[in-house]
Amino acid sequence: MDFEAFPELLVIVAQKHLNYYEDYLHFSCVCKFWRSIALEAATKVSYSNGLPSRLPSLFFTDEKQDVEFRRLFLLSNRTIRKIRLPEAYGKSCISSSGWILTSGNYNYYFGGNIVTKLINPLSHETIDLPKIDTFPGFLEHRDPDSEIRKVLFSVESPVVLVLWGRNMLGFCSIGDHNWTSVKTNIDSMIFDMTCYDGQIYYLDSYFHIKSCDVNGEGPVVDISRLPEWYCNGDLEVAYIIGLDDGKKKLLVVIRELLDQLTVDNADSSRVRRELAYQVTFETKSFQVFEYDLENGKWSKVNGLGKKTLFVGFSSSFG
């Protein structure tokens, strides 16, 4: 079939039905004529980075000090996608539901940029959020390691939820000028949080799952604790995900790490004297536990069937 013989109007109509970035690549590879149509369409939206990927992408850190562009690793075809995103240059970035929260680097001793924004990396749509220093207790509790560690946001909801520092939860509605804190009343570290069925659920380092209202109203409720047959050591890294497949349940994913000692210098005496080593980590295994919110029972998950879980420090979902 001679694809170049297709009327231009039909080709333009066809490309308007493409929904994913990978489809656009396939479209442009058909022939030179189709590729020219794709390039012409791209120039008309020069400030847009195009269609979303079919699968989640990994957002690379700014290692090359590129002011204009950032890179995405596409899980769908294991390729690198370069997008124009000058808004992220020099910022700390974490993600949620296809959006990126950017915040300036705040120095404990010298202050710094305290502006936070939500940016859609493809459309460049930007939502201004309250400054970091409006978070209740920021000045009293800040330390060199304090930062926003996780954000939960969905375009269907006007509420933005953040996990800040070790155990501080907060939220704001779009248009607010201040963050509102959620009284967690705990001293332990919060590993992860999720928003599910109108509630915030979070997992702490004492193996407890607790919940509170998504708007910070009402008391914090202790939902459950990981079963005794697992609580035989310290949690290193853990994630919590709400899942609805006929039953309302929470999945807790435990990531077990394997420490590796990397020596900077082969001179062992120097190493012993100056302790010049660096510890790196590799993932040893994952364990997944399911908590049924309806009957309050725990079970170990041995398989996910056709489902896929994506877990990470800034975003986890299934």
Q: Confirm whether pTM is higher than 0.85.
A: no
For the segment 48-101, what is each residue's pLDDT rounded down to a tens digit? 677 777 788 888 876 667 788 888 888 888 888 888 888 888 888 888 888 988
Short-list 260, 246, 254, CA closest to 294: 246
Which helix or strand (DSSP H or E) is residue 287 part of?
Answer: strand 277-292
Query: DSSP letter at 41?
Result: H
Contact predicate 169/191, CB 8 Å:
no
For residue 61 the two structure tokens come to: 């850190």
Q: How many CB atoms lie within 10 A of CB 204?
A: 23
pLDDT at 289: 92
Crossing angle for the helix pair 21-28 and 32-43, to the nearest 10 degrees: 140
Q: What residues have CB less than 8 Å from 220, skipping those under 6 apart? A: 182, 183, 184, 185, 210, 211, 212
Residue 44: pLDDT band with limits 50, 70, 90: low
For residue 164 the two structure tokens come to: 């800040």
Residue 12: pLDDT band with limits 50, 70, 90: low
The better pLDDT of the pair 36, 170 is held by: 170
For the segment 235-286, what is each residue's pLDDT rounded down to a tens digit? 678 899 988 777 889 999 988 877 655 444 444 444 443 444 445 567 888 8
Q: Which amino acid is at 16?
A: K
Contact predicate 181/170, CB 8 Å:
yes
Q: CA-to-CA distance for 217 and 198, rounded, in angstroms?
A: 12
Mean of pLDDT over the chain: 76
* pLDDT (mean) for 225-244: 77
User: Per-residue DSSP letters for 80-98?
Assistant: EEEEE-GGGTTSEEEEETT
